[in-house]
Amino acid sequence: MFLLSPSRSRVWSARRVRPAAFALAVLAIGADPARAQTLDDGLMVPRRQLRTTVEYAHERWDSYWEGELKRQNDNIGTVTTRSVAWTGAYGVTERFSVFATLPYLWTSASQGVLQGMEGRQDLTVAAKFRVLQAAVSPRATLGLTALVGVGVPTSDYTPDFQPLSIGLGARRALARGALHLHDRSGVFAEASAAQTWRSTVRLDRPAYYTDGDLVLSNEVAMPDVFEYAVGTGFQNARWCIPVMLVSQRTLGGGDIRRQDMPFVSNRMDFTRLQARVMYTVPRLPAVTLQLGAMHTLTGRNVGQSTLLSGGMTSAIRL
């Protein structure tokens, strides 16, 4: 997700840190073939296997979309977000897996007087269910999964400090469906769609102005979010290389006002290209290393960011 900016400063760019970009680490199977079981994909964690992942990510942007207008702002220069995310996953059965993820973030701006923030962001807990797994030809298998989850802030950060806030401060409920088609050659294709429902957010001020209206309240109604993704890749016993095109559409919200700061409930839409490379170490089959990259291609009220990440997963059977 993405972040927005202060309420008493004159800023501007908006990008919400998706717990999905910083908070969802890739989980490997350990001694099994390298795979990418995460909240987003259509794969499951093997029964009685526990995986823990630590991932570092570095994201930065110096231009952003103010509504549909792409621009820069010398008052903030380049905005950088660094994060360390912990993710745990456990295969309860072959058809049922549980996940938890929690990131710690640091934000900073290269110019101007605004000070960055740091702290724990939102804890996300989810359960994934295998709905279907069937052979669709002599060489290909189709899997269908469904996921439900919730997210809650874990620290008392303010969401009214964009783009340097570490989160949006809303409680969330999410649902996702994913398809995974795997050919015996190792080539696979994936598609997923998700809806996120968000609670109201409280600000540390008695009134605010957004979308052409003055609201005499400290509560902000947050629009819900819809996301879809398609991709392809390759995986075998050691390698997993997914490439995905991800798009987010906010179901409501206004644009950043011209020459004004962004607001917590602004519409934040984007299309981004992301890729990962995962490698299971032959002599340490319970360890998987990963590198990732993401770039925002188009957007509305978000920064045109580039993200690089790296991490490690360990797996044990309980």
Residue 19 DSSP class: H
Q: Are strands 287-300 and 15-17 parallel, antiparallel or unpaired?
A: unpaired
Phi-psi region of 313 (alpha: psi -120 to 50; beta: other; left: phi over 0): beta
Across the chain, mean pLDDT equals 88
Of 228, 141, 128, whose CA–CA distance to 189 is shortest?
141
- Identify the pLDDT of residue 6: 35
- Residue carrying structure tokens 């602004």: 266
End-to-end CA distance of the chain: 33
Whole-angstrom distance, CA of residue 293 vs CA of residue 57? 9
In which band, very low, low, confident or very high, does the pLDDT at 36 lie, cut at 50, 70 and 90?
A: low
The distance between the two most distant Cα atoms of the chain, rounded to a whole number of Å, is: 64
Q: Which domain range does residue 182 map to?
A: 2-317
What is the pTM assigned to this prediction? 0.86
Q: What domain count does the chain have?
A: 1
Q: Quick one: 13 exposed, middle or buried, by C-beta within 10 A (0-12, 13-18, 19+)?
A: buried
- Residue carrying structure tokens 């909240």: 39
- Identify the pLDDT of residue 39: 78
CATH of the domain at 236: 2.40.160.40
Question: Is the per-residue pLDDT at 208 higher than 80?
Answer: yes
Q: Are strands 118-120 and 96-109 parallel, antiparallel or unpaired?
A: antiparallel
- The per-residue pLDDT for range 292-316, each reduced to its tens digit, is 999 999 999 999 999 999 999 999 9
- Alpha-carbon distances of 265 from 142, 227, 292, rounded to whole Å: 38, 17, 29
